[in-house]
């Protein structure tokens, strides 16, 4: 939590610290983010190997950021849902399904972008 006594800059730096802590926690604990991080690393290596264009890099980096950030929001929604209602409830199921659906939609877009970039280079 930011402190009113601290300067604007110190509060911003603290916020970046909390955000970094959250991202690191995700990477250490969430299997889906670990898989996405591995895929992101693999396509980054592929990007250098195939010398993809600047525009292709822009799309690739944007898709990696989109999928991983939506996955983080999805995980956060799962934590909130489990915290406010740990027992089985149809509404909690719906909330989690919709959040997972957001990751699915972003992932489909990322797969299409990857296919457009790499299919012609591989086949």
The only residue of 23, 66, 100, 102 in contact with ligand ATP, by rule CB under 6 A: 100
Cβ proximity of 57 and 47 under 8 Å: yes
**Is residue 32 a contact point for ligand ATP (CB under 6 A)?**
yes
First to last CA, the chain: 52
User: Taking CB under 6 A as the rule, does residue 89 contact ligand ATP?
Assistant: yes
How near is the Cβ of 66 to ligand ATP at its closest, in Å? 18
Position closest to ligand ATP via CB: 93
Based on the shown chain and the rule CB under 6 A, indicate whether residue 83 belongs to the binding site for ligand ATP.
no
Q: Does 85 belong to an annotated binding site?
A: no
| Paired tokens of 51 | 């010398």
**C-beta separation of 67 from 110 below 8 A:** yes
Given 71, 74, 75, 103, the catalytic residue:
71
Alpha-helix residue ranges (DSSP H) falling in 1-123:
8-29, 31-49, 54-84, 90-122
Question: Are 64 and 110 in contact, with CB atoms under 8 Å apart?
Answer: yes
Q: Does 97 bind ligand ATP (CB under 6 A)?
A: yes
Would you tell me which residues interact with ligand ATP (CB under 6 A)?
30, 32, 75, 78, 88-89, 92-93, 96-97, 100
Q: Which residues are catalytic?
A: 71
């Amino acid at each position: 939590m930011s402190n009113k006594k601290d300067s604007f800059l110190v509060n911003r730096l603290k916020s970046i610290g909390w955000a970094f802590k959250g991202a690191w926690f995700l990477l250490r604990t969430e299997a889906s983010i670990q898989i996405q991080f591995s895929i992101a690393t693999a396509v980054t290596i592929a990007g250098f190997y195939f010398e993809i264009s600047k525009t292709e890099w822009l799309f690739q980096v944007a898709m990696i950021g989109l999928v991983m950030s939506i996955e983080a929001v999805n995980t956060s929604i799962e934590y909130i849902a489990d915290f406010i209602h740990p027992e089985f409830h149809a509404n909690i199921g719906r909330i989690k399904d919709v959040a997972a659906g957001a990751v699915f939609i972003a992932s489909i877009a990322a797969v299409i972008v990857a296919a457009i970039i790499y299919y012609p280079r591989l086949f």
